[in-house]
Amino acid sequence: MDRSLDFILAVGALIVGIMLVAGHGSVFMKGGNTQQRKAVYDEKKMEKASGVALILIGIATGIDSYTQGLPAKLAYIAVLVIIMVVLVYYLRTKCKK
């Protein structure tokens, strides 16, 4: 059961990531204070950056579904943290208008 949830999450992240990178996933970028976000950030750059991050998270989750043991799980968590830190840094520095 645990592996099937990993596969569902990995496939979902990959599909949404590809849609965002292709420019057809703007529906996934809704929410929050949209007017303020549009005034400060470039929406297309945000979509592409979020899409790349989701694709990387999907790949990492797919690989993690085949690994076992504490070191592999800690490495998976470290990879997720690195992806999120890089995404936030990129959004705050490169995606501003």
Q: Model confidence at 59, in pLDDT bands (50, 70, 90)?
A: very high
| pLDDT(54) > 70 | yes
Q: Give the confidence band of 52 by pLDDT, cuts at 50, 70, 90.
A: very high
Confidence of residue 9 (pLDDT cuts 50, 70, 90): very high
> What are the pLDDT digits (tens) for 76-90?
999 999 999 999 999
* CA separation for the pair 76, 69 (Å, rounded): 11
Q: Are 96 and 42 in contact (CB under 8 A)?
A: yes
Quote the DSSP letter at residue 66.
T
